[in-house]
Amino acid sequence: MVRIAIVDYGMGNLRSVAHALRRVAPEADVRVCASAQELRAADRVVLPGQGAMPDCMRTLAESGLEEAVRESARTKPLLGVCLGEQMLCDHSAEGPSQGLGVIGGECVHFSGDAFASGAVARLKVPHMGWNRVYPVAHEQGERHRLWDGVADGAWFYFVHSYHVVTRQARDVAAQSTYGAPFTCAIARDNIFATQFHPEKSASAGLRLYSNFVSWNP
């Protein structure tokens, strides 16, 4: 039986994530986990997050789970969701705050240089609602395995004011547009993370969760 741990450090949409995973993988052992021992025993780990980056990083450290999350990022399939994606990067302008530094990158506000002109001046921040997502193909023109069965331009649900800018283009797994293009999913080795909420994104989001359950990086 596949054991899937959802990291409970007090800052995530835990119930919705657990419900979505149990729906796509009823045979799996899906648990909301608040101990490092449970994370280390799991086969797969989901790192959710919502709210503000400084609060997420502080509560993760206070929970005693930070090192277990870092270990999971090195050793097993890990899926970051929303703030869970941003936490994997080096630094965020929100706060500002340090991240886990697992994938090189910065989290910047939508009012940054790339969004300083044009339509973005008339757009509301936070970016909230449904947007199309376009997977990025890299090696041999292939999309990441987690996009299997998800159409280019599928709709996903977003709630955020900051977005990730990766240091290396190869870490970008998908893009969306809000005034200007921005990275909305990142991936490297055994790590995949999304800015949007798959658990709130109907059939496309459930398919992504299903792909994560069966993914063998």
Structural domains present in the chain: 3-214 (3.40.50.880)
Report helix, strand or coil for 95. Answer: coil
Least confident interval from 31-45, 69-83, 138-152: 138-152
- Could you tell me the pLDDT band of residue 12, with boundaries at 50, 70 and 90? confident
The arithmetic mean of pLDDT across residues 105-119, rounded, is 73
Residue type, 123: L
Q: What share of the chain is helix, strand, coil (3-state, %, to 5)?
A: 35, 30, 35
Catalytic residues: 82, 197, 199
Question: Strand 29-33 to strand 3-7: parallel, antiparallel, or no bridges (unpaired)?
Answer: parallel
Q: What is the pLDDT of residue 13?
A: 84
Tokens 């059939």 correspond to 203
Residue 157 has pLDDT above 80, yes or no: yes
pLDDT at 119 exceeding the cut of 70: no
pLDDT tens-place string over residues 93-109: 999 999 999 999 999 99
Looking at per-residue pLDDT, the higher value among 86 and 120 belongs to: 86
Q: In the numeric block, which tokens belong to residue 26?
A: 């009823």
Q: Give the residue among 88, 90, 91, 60 at the shortest CA–CA distance from 74.
A: 88
**In whole angstroms, what is the distance from residue 209 CA to residue 25 CA?**
9
The answer to whether 61 touches 68, Cβ cutoff 8 Å, is no
Supply the mean pLDDT for the chain. Answer: 93
pLDDT 10s digits, 199-216: 999 999 999 999 999 999
Q: How far apart are CA 171 and CA 187, in angstroms?
A: 5
Average pLDDT, integer, range 56-85: 97
Q: H helices then E strands: how many in the chain?
A: 6, 13
Share of the chain above pLDDT 70, in %: 94
pLDDT-derived band of residue 125, with 50, 70 and 90 as boundaries? confident
Query: Tokens standing for 111?
Result: 């009012």
